[in-house]
Amino acid sequence: MHGAQDMEGTNSAFVFEGNWRDFAKIAFPNLLLTIVTLGIYRFWATARERRYLWSRTRFVDEHLEWAGTGMELFLGFLMVFVLFGIPYVFLTFIAQALVARGYEALGVGLTFVALTAIFYLLGVARFRGLRYRLSRTRWRGIRGGSDDGGFLFGLSYMWKTIAGWIPLGLLIPWSMTSLWNERWNAMSFGPFRFESNAAAGGVFVRFLLFYLAPFVLFVGGMIMAGMGMLAGYGIGGEDGMRVGGVVGILGLVLFFYLGLGLIAVAFYAKFYREVVGATRWRDLHFSFEASTLDWVKLLVVDAVLVVFTFGIGLIFLSYRHWKFFMTHLEAGGEILLDELTQSETRTAKHGEGLLDAFDMGAI
């Protein structure tokens, strides 16, 4: 097993070997335990799920391993609760008391400070969430991580997000790709850093759909509404026309929302192809091959699964999303196993508390 692992010629570097029946044996007891512990077990449930998903994912010739524990996720949660939750309650309490005493401006100002702090912590959380996941992922006993605490990234996140929105949102593709680069460039696996140089240009055209589409959709919708009215008139005269018009307008609204959702999916599909494709690690290059249609299928089946099981299907979403991610993720290049030594990055003893608090995914 010494020497180089050459990825060319094999079918896919990442292979997911799990199945939903095995996952169900983990997810249902998890759900039960989470309910009877009033939610406290969810940290251990998350660790169990990840252990399963990671261990059923093969990268080249060895399975991944999730080394995180439920206890550290729980500690992370407690830490966030004490460090940020309680001060936040305190701050809002003071803000309300100030407003009640007649210092409205001060109270509003304090609330603004609290919200700004949350905005900042959101960025820090995204960074630390990714760092946590890399540091708990093992492949051949080697892990990833970062020595950066993400506190500067939090500032970048703030100003780049705001700057992205100011020119009518036109710089959002830039802020998204540049934040991706900044985050991944700070991460490493084993002794080597990730490198990412995603460019906004690649996703900009897709992003313009957001501006163009409302017009197209509106005109299309108007035509549909008009046709609905005409059809209604044909069937039932004046009254029919009114009914047809209402149906047409309903169609227009639906069309509008679905259309906008579709554009968002199309943009994100392109975005992930671009940014993953621009990410490298040593001599490895990555790619993500999910098309817009793949994403639509994922989301539609997600929705159907959740709705038709009265919400119980929610427990399978993490499985579906991981499988989707691993199925479409590809890597090519070469790894020299001898030079792949252990990561020297520090590891935090606590889990992704912040990220958990804000309920976001890491990638």
Residues that bind other proteins (CB under 8 A): 1-2, 17, 29, 32-33, 36-42, 44, 48, 51, 55-56, 62-63, 65-66, 70-71, 80-81, 84-85, 88-89, 92-93, 96-97, 99-104, 107-108, 118, 138-143, 190, 335, 337-342, 356-359
How many Å apart are CA 256 and CA 214, to the nearest integer?
A: 7
How many Å apart are CA 234 and CA 330, to the nearest integer?
A: 55
- Minimum CB distance to other proteins, residue 80 (Å): 6
Q: Is 354 exposed, middle or buried (0-12, 13-18, 19+ CB in 10 A)?
A: buried
Crossing angle for the helix pair 20-36 and 42-55, to the nearest 10 degrees: 170
How many Å apart are CA 294 and CA 299, to the nearest integer?
A: 9
Nearer to other proteins (CB atom), residue 208 or residue 306: 306
Q: Which two tokens stand for residue 219?
A: 């005109």
Q: Which two tokens stand for residue 68?
A: 């995180």
Nearer to other proteins (CB atom), residue 197 or residue 341: 341
**Cβ atoms of 340 and 8 closer than 8 Å:** no
Query: Cα–chain-centroid distance for residue 167?
Result: 25
- Minimum CB distance to other proteins, residue 323 (Å): 16
Task: Give the C-alpha distances (Å, rounded to integers) separating 201 from 92, 180, 205.
Answer: 42, 14, 8
Nearer to other proteins (CB atom), residue 139 or residue 174: 139
- Minimum CB distance to other proteins, residue 19 (Å): 10
- Minimum CB distance to other proteins, residue 187 (Å): 18
Nearer to other proteins (CB atom), residue 70 or residue 232: 70
- DSSP letter string, 173-188: HHHHHHHHHHHHHT-E
Radius of gyration of the chain (CA): 24
- Minimum CB distance to other proteins, residue 290 (Å): 26
- Minimum CB distance to other proteins, residue 184 (Å): 21
Nearer to other proteins (CB atom), residue 5 or residue 181: 5
How many Å apart are CA 56 and CA 50, to the nearest integer?
A: 10
Neighbours of 199 (CB within 10 A): 15
Q: Identify which of 88, 89, 97 has the alpha carbon closest to the alpha carbon of residue 116.
A: 88
- Minimum CB distance to other proteins, residue 287 (Å): 23
- Minimum CB distance to other proteins, residue 259 (Å): 30
Nearer to other proteins (CB atom), residue 28 or residue 211: 28
Nearer to other proteins (CB atom), residue 1 or residue 168: 1
- Minimum CB distance to other proteins, residue 274 (Å): 29
How many Å apart are CA 289 and CA 285, to the nearest integer?
A: 13
Nearer to other proteins (CB atom), residue 75 or residue 99: 99
- Minimum CB distance to other proteins, residue 299 (Å): 21
Beta bridge partners of 5: 335
User: Phi and psi of 233, rounded to 5°?
Assistant: -60, -40
Beta bridge partners of 62: 59
Nearer to other proteins (CB atom), residue 91 or residue 163: 91
Nearer to other proteins (CB atom), residue 90 or residue 257: 90
Q: Which residue in this structure is represented by tokens 């993953």?
A: 276
Query: Cα–chain-centroid distance for residue 203?
Result: 18
